[in-house]
Each structure stands twice: as C-alpha cells, then as structure tokens.
Structure 1
Amino acid sequence: MLTRAAVLASIGTENQAEVFHILKWLPFAKEEEEGWEIPFYELLGEMELVWRGRENLFARLLMLKKPKLLSGLMGSSLPPKIKGFRRCEIKNIDWWLDWIEELEQDKTGRWREWQSMQIAGFLTQYTGSKTKAEFLERFNNRNCPHRQILLKYIIPKLETRSDDFNEDGIEYILEDLKKNLYWDGFRHHFLARAADETFIRGKLIPLLEEADGVFKNNLLDIIKTAGKEHGKRYLV
C-alpha cells in the first residue's frame, strides 16, 4: 500500500488522496505498529505533496516528534519548502520552543541542530501575524524562559524593526552581542536589517566609545551594514 501511495503521489496532485489518508492515520498509530513507517517517511521526501487545506495536519505530524518523519516532511532545504502551504496560526507556542530547546540540548548528532533550524524556519515562514506577534511578546518579557532560543532561532528570521523591541528586549540583545561574534563572512546580525537611523545614532553609536572586542566588532558591522541599507555612511 505504501509503495502504491508513493507512486501515485509522484504522478500528480490528483492522486495524492491515498497518501494523505495514510498521513492522517499516523498520529493514532500504536508503538508496535510503527515498523512499517520508516520506509514511508523516507519516501515522503520524494513526493511533491500539496498541503493546501491540510495545514493543521502538517503541524500535527510535526508534533509527533519523529525525526525521520520531520525530515520527510521538511525536505532538505532551509527554510523548508512546503508546496501549497498557506500561512496558519500556531497554538501552544511554548510547546514548540520547548521542542527546539530539547533538540539543542541533545548532543547525539549535528542533525539535531539542522532540525531545530528547520522547525524555526517553519514557525517563521509559514505562520501568520498573530503567531509572530506572540514570539515578539514573549521575547520582550524578561521572565520568558525561552529568550535564548527565540534570539537564536526565531527573532532573526522575522521581519522586525528596532521599535518592535522594548528596552529590556534591546538590553538582552546587546548583552548577547558582547558574547557572540555574528559576522561570519556571509551573514550579518539581524539588527543590521532591523535598526532604523534613530536607533543607530541614538543607541548603537554611543556604545562604541566604551565597547571593545567582540562587542565592538559586532556594533561596527551592524552600523556599517545598516548604513548601506539607509543609503548613509555613519561616522564612527
């Protein structure tokens, strides 16, 4: 049945009902019935399934926390390319952030970090404005237990402006800039995109006077890169 379903899926969208029938059944499968699933998970990556109208099913399947199923659903790209998927709002945001944290703490293989990034890609690229606002609300809350996860995986992938962050959120970002060097020759810190001229002149440039080491390098790169975006050359 699985091989037939995979072949049908590869033919075209009109023949994918059988595949989705199997996928709808997966959340209810018992542990002892799972042996047959692994080949199916691997085949998923070869199918061009169209998820329009089945967004909730996709999220429920991810929530099974099955690594090979996640890989089959997400494919090999980052962010994942999910054909036909319309933006949806995610419930239980803390559950998803807990999952990313679990994967990050698992040191059994580098693929864990890759899956963390794919989950983050799903949460930021395929969710609606309400979900994204909740991410920002949590990050701006100093008592949020997921701040580090949000800053590493979620916030940089959102379309943000500097005024989306409250003072406490800004201070948390600045403290992180003192510890981690972000310019790696390819990517800049998200503040280089989010900061407006007022933020650059009023907040970042004054910090340069006493900054050193990693912090100074980060600030200089953010200011220089933001200047290109603004069509200005900030004097530092």
Structure 2
Amino acid sequence: MNQSIEIMTNRIVNILGDNKPSIYLFGSIVLKDFKLGWSDIDILCLTKSEITDVQADLLLNLRQVLLSEYDNNLYFRSFEGGFLSLDQFINKIPDTVIYWGTSGQRITDKYHLDPFSMIELMEKGYLLYGDEVRDKFSYPTKENILKAVVNHYEAIRKYAVTTDRSLYSAGWLLDIARCIYTLRTGRIIAKTKAGKWALDNNLVPDVDIMEKVISIREEPNKYKNNNEIMEWLETLGKYIQKFADVLENEILIAKL
C-alpha cells in the first residue's frame, strides 16, 4: 500500500509539477482504519495554478494506466479524490476539476469536501507532497456539521429502508454511529471505532447486529464471497432504520 501511494504521488507530480501541487492523504487510511476490499484511499491535490486541459486528460485515467502497468496491484483502483486549484477549493470558483470516484472518473468544474472529510483533512490529513496550505482553510462550524448530519440522516431514511447484497449495506450502521459521535463531540472518528464506541455507550438497539457489522468491517475480504453473509446483508434495512431513530433523537437534541 505504501509503495502504491508513493508511485501514485510521483506520477501526479510528474503531470502537475509545474503547477506547484500540494497533495494530501486523508480518510480511513490516516485514521488507521483502511480495510482492503471496503475502504478508499482518499487524496486531494490542490495546485497553485490552474490545471490545463492536457494535464486533465492525463490525470483522468491515471488509475487505469497504473493498473495496466502493475498487473497484480490491489490498491490503485482504491484511490479517490479531486484535483483542482487551491483558489477554486477555497473560494468555490468554477474551474477545471478532475474527480476520481468509486464508479468512475470525470472532468467537471466544481469539487468540495463535506464537513466530515474537511475535519479529517484539517486534523488528521497527511501532506504527501508540496507546501502546507491547510492554514488557508475554514474549519466547519457546528451549523455546517449539523446540516451534514441531517443530510445523511435523510439519505438513510430514503435509501436504506431496504438493503442489497453488498458489504456497503453494513456501512450504514457505522455511518450512523459516526454521525452521533460527531454530533456529541464535534470531532471525527474512524468507522470501526465509531461502531465500537456506540456499543460501549449503549446507543445501539441491536447489539448483535452491530457486532457482526464490525466483524465484517474488520475483515471484508473474508466475507465478500460468503453467500450466507450476502443474504444477511439484505435484511439490514429494519435494523438501520431503528438505529436511525437514535440518530434522529440526537439531531433533535443538537438543535435545542
């Protein structure tokens, strides 16, 4: 993994070196909660000067290029994040942005981090290359955090009533635990630790369900081809909604 991060960083610098990039690592990997088969390797690249069309084209499919060069690599497909100018990131000015996501990549004109990711970046982010620029960022306010939690809560109510045969179905429960932790503390916690924290604080309506979710989170590749687990994941909707009731109450308290 470390070698893959180094290779990726060097290739990005080869493309954007003249733009004086600052490249950050954040997310589960800096929270020491990266799980191959589940987690992403989150990066953010901010440049002093605008990214050209030629550079954007080179960056767009860089993950695929490296996968073709390193046949047995397990990590290049896990990289996600954005490439844009520092000015655009701070001031939200439309400009050329290269976005890498789970379902693909694209060139767009805007990119931002939600308050959870911004806190991760500012508090735990690791500078892989370039100048430190986080002193120019604004820390999310309590209002920003609450709004982000409410948005996530609404997504849970809308999209997690039923679940499918995916390990990510289990992730809804960990996300709820993480939202509660952030509401109570204003800080960020790793997903696995969030689930354990919620158990320790007697916040989880279905303890055995959360314990199983944590087991899957800790060793995702052990379970991803297990048909029994896949069938079980399809039944999580009602448990997610019960835990969402707990989150709803926390939101009401936070609004007082």
Higher strand share: 2
TM-score of the pair, normalised by structure 2: 0.31
The structure with the greater share of residues assigned to helix is: 1
Q: Which structure exhibits the higher relative contact order, with contacts defined as CA atoms closer than 8 Å and separated by 6 or more residues? A: 2
TM-score w.r.t. the length of structure 1 is: 0.33
